[in-house]
């Protein structure tokens, strides 16, 4: 089937072997397919959320539950803090794309390091914000088995899904930090390719992408 028997003028099929049919490296392709698989995991959680949430008579109103802001006691800004978190994550995605761009187009070690550093800062800011949000909700009485806002499922769904996402942000920050060390050491200059930045960039954008849907599910619907 995959016989690359060439007659005069016949082009070998891209599936004949010897090169990537999709013109990407194995590492990048496998990262893509890992992300597709991970999407299924997140999707299963979000689908559970969607099905359960609409089966209840009443559900906590996001604009009422999520209105606190750190450092401002008593000030109510509905959905304010989570908007800040969304902005932070999107911003860190932009800095990540720039890091990838300067790596693959210019091989510019300094710029890659700078933008990757900003990405890590963005990720850490998001994690700290999420930690604050969790602490705040727990002190208000929200647990895995009940909450003062309404249906008890709200609690465990919120903590499980944002926790699973937060874990991904955490591993992303760890991997980014390791790669940043390697960048400043000049490992990728020696290797001749900044493709590793592309691959972790894909992971980071995936984390941002999932947040778009988690944000939509919990805070908007």
Partner 1 sequence: MSEVQGVNMVKLIWRTFWILLVVTIVEVTAAISLTGHLPQMILNTFYILMSGAKAFYIVSVFMHLKFEVKYLMITILLPMLFLMFALCVFLAEGNSWHHLKNY
Residues within the interface to partner 1 (CB under 8 A): 21-24, 29, 32, 36, 39-40, 43, 46-48, 50-57, 61-63, 78-79, 83, 86-87, 90-91, 93-94, 96-98, 101, 104-105, 198, 201-202, 205-206, 208-209, 212-213, 215-216, 219-221
Nearer to partner 1, 8 or 155 (CB): 155
What is the C-alpha to C-alpha distance for residues 80 and 108, in angstroms, rounded to an integer?
37
Q: What is the C-alpha radius of gyration for the chain, rounded to an integer number of angstroms?
A: 22
Smallest gap from residue 91 Cβ to partner 1 (A): 8
Smallest gap from residue 181 Cβ to partner 1 (A): 24
Nearer to partner 1, 175 or 209 (CB): 209
Which of 155, 167, 165, 138 lies closest to 52, judged by CA?
A: 155
Structure tokens at 184: 């400043």
What is the C-alpha to C-alpha distance for residues 53 and 65, in angstroms, rounded to an integer?
15
Nearer to partner 1, 8 or 15 (CB): 15
Smallest gap from residue 14 Cβ to partner 1 (A): 9
- The angle formed by the CA atoms of residues 119, 189 and 89, to the nearest 5 degrees, is 10
Nearer to partner 1, 134 or 219 (CB): 219
Nearer to partner 1, 178 or 220 (CB): 220
Smallest gap from residue 8 Cβ to partner 1 (A): 27
Sign for the CA dihedral angle at 217, 118, 93, 196 comes to negative
Q: How many Cβ atoms are within 10 Å of 188's Cβ, its own excluded?
A: 19
Cross-strand bridge partners of residue 69:
72
Nearer to partner 1, 5 or 161 (CB): 161
* Contact (Cβ atoms closer than 8 angstroms) between residue 138 and residue 201: no
What is the C-alpha to C-alpha distance for residues 56 and 51, in angstroms, rounded to an integer?
9
Smallest gap from residue 96 Cβ to partner 1 (A): 8
Smallest gap from residue 24 Cβ to partner 1 (A): 7
Structure tokens at 27: 């590492």
Which of 201, 191, 190, 215 lies closest to 35, judged by CA?
A: 201
């Amino acid at each position: 089937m995959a016989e690359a028997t060439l007659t005069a003028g016949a082009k070998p099929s891209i599936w004949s072997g010897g090169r990537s049919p999709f013109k990407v490296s194995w590492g990048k392709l496998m990262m893509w397919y890992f992300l597709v698989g991970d999407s299924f995991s997140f999707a299963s959680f979000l689908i559970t959320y969607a099905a359960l949430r609409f089966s209840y008579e009443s559900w906590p109103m996001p604009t009422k539950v999520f209105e606190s802001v750190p450092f401002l006691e008593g000030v109510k800004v509905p959905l304010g803090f989570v908007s800040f978190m969304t902005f932070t994550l999107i911003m860190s995605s932009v800095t990540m794309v720039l890091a990838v761009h300067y790596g693959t187009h210019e091989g510019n070690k300094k710029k890659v390091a700078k933008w990757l550093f900003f990405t890590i800062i963005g990720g850490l800011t998001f994690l700290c914000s999420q930690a604050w949000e969790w602490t705040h909700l727990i002190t208000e009485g929200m647990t895995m088995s009940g909450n003062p806002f309404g249906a008890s499922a709200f609690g465990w769904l919120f903590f499980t899904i944002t926790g699973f996402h937060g874990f991904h942000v955490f591993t992303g920050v760890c991997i980014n930090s390791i790669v940043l060390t390697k960048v400043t050491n000049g490992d990728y200059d020696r290797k001749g390719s900044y493709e590793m930045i592309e691959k972790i960039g894909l992971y980071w954008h995936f984390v941002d992408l999932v947040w778009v849907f988690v944000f939509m599910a919990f805070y908007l619907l």
